[in-house]
Amino acid sequence: MIQVCGYAAQNAKSPLTYFSFERREPREYDVIVDIHYCGICHSDIHQVNDEWGGSTFPMVPGHEITGIVSKVGAKVTRYKLGDRVAVGNFVDSCRKCGPCQKGLEQYCEEGATWTYNSVEKADGKETIPTQGGYSNKIVVDENYVLSIPDNLPLDSSAPLLCAGITLYSPLMHWKAGPGKKVAIIGLGGLGHIGVKFAHTLGAEVTVLSHSLKKQEEAKKLGADNFYATSERDTFKKLARYFDVIINTVSVELDLDRYMKLLALDGTMVIVGLPEKKFQVGAFPLANTRRSLAGSVIGGLKETQEMLDFCSENNIACDIELIPVQKVNEAYRRVLNSDVRYRFVIDVMNSLKCKD
């Protein structure tokens, strides 16, 4: 085992504090990544607070990881020492089922091994808990590591590994592009990169935000239109307007109101994962042959494609870089929608292991 350190929640809802722990000794196909940066995703907060059920503790969150390869196992061919790499939401999967064979490892039928709040497997048997990127090093099979193109900065690319791919995948699947009217509900970590992608893909992009506070910034990110959902007229003006709506909001919304904003054959894609259930009426769905869909992150192949797309189009996230000691304050600000637009932990410069 190798000794590492990070920040962990010891129990549900408890603040994150310094934590020493062990990771597996690298196997022949493993690389060790020295973590430089890790984004703070709202999913980290849901899981620390055990809002989805089944959280295990101690928990070191973090699945938006970038860093440098510092060691490679004997049989590693994809990476060498010094490579700029990334690790996202999962670190393994069964590799045999239909979804895995299609490069859709996030939908692995046996369940992907998530980067944290999950259990590592060796020879099919469960071993030690996985721990995430608010830590100094991670050991990952080379096949589950992504490559960061040279022109992308390691800090502002970190959130691409979750926020980025979570928006890129449905935008590609539902063919956002010229002639398509796309709305994004919630201008947070996911929403802001979704606006950049949809704009770059040539779609008409509208932000539906719960207040007017982010209006000017949304335009700079590439939004064509901006509406506050708190304004009375918004839902009337936009009735039957959109081809695709992507809902990134972390709390449950009155979905029926938003379904009515879809045009004939329009699709509402749920990517936000609130604790509570949605209620959906049959009429807003059936009336104009609308679809209600969902999507989770993206597979390895598509995640690399997204990173290359960002490289070609010079896209990265708008971030606030913080030392790891400020993680609890950052959580409070995320919950108040007070981040522009992703916190990224400067792991390399702020986390010092005590032993």
Summarize as ranges the residues that interact with Zn ion (CB under 5 A).
41, 43, 93-94, 97, 100, 108, 162
Selection from Zn ion, ligand NAP, none that 46 binds (CB < 5 to 8 A by kind) is ligand NAP
Selection from ligand NAP, Zn ion, none that 296 binds (CB < 5 to 8 A by kind) is ligand NAP
In this complex, which beta carbon is closest to Zn ion, that of residue 43 or of residue 113? Answer: 43
Q: Which stretch binds ligand NAP (CB under 6 A): 25-33, 110-118, 180-188, 313-321?
A: 180-188
Distance CA 132, CA 134 (A): 6
Q: Which stretch binds ligand NAP (CB under 6 A): 30-38, 118-126, 268-276, 347-355?
A: 268-276
Strand 342-346 and strand 30-39: pairing? antiparallel
CA 89 to chain centre: 7
Distance CA 346, CA 38 (A): 7
Site string for ligand NAP, 225-264 (x = CB under 6 A): -----------------------xxxx-------------
Distance CA 40, CA 297 (A): 15
The binder of ligand NAP chosen from 189, 222, 284, 299 (CB under 6 A) = 189
Residue 238 contacts residue 259 (beta carbons within 8 Å): no
Strand 119-122 and strand 125-129: pairing? antiparallel
206 binds ligand NAP (CB under 6 A): no
In this structure, the chain runs to a length of: 355
In this complex, which beta carbon is closest to ligand NAP, that of residue 26 or of residue 164? Answer: 164
Beta strands in 82-214 (DSSP E): 84-87, 90-92, 113-114, 119-122, 125-129, 137-141, 146-147, 181-185, 204-209
61 binds ligand NAP (CB under 6 A): no
Q: Which residues bind ligand NAP (CB under 6 A)?
A: 41-43, 46, 162-163, 166, 186-191, 209-210, 214, 248-251, 271-274, 296-297, 334, 337
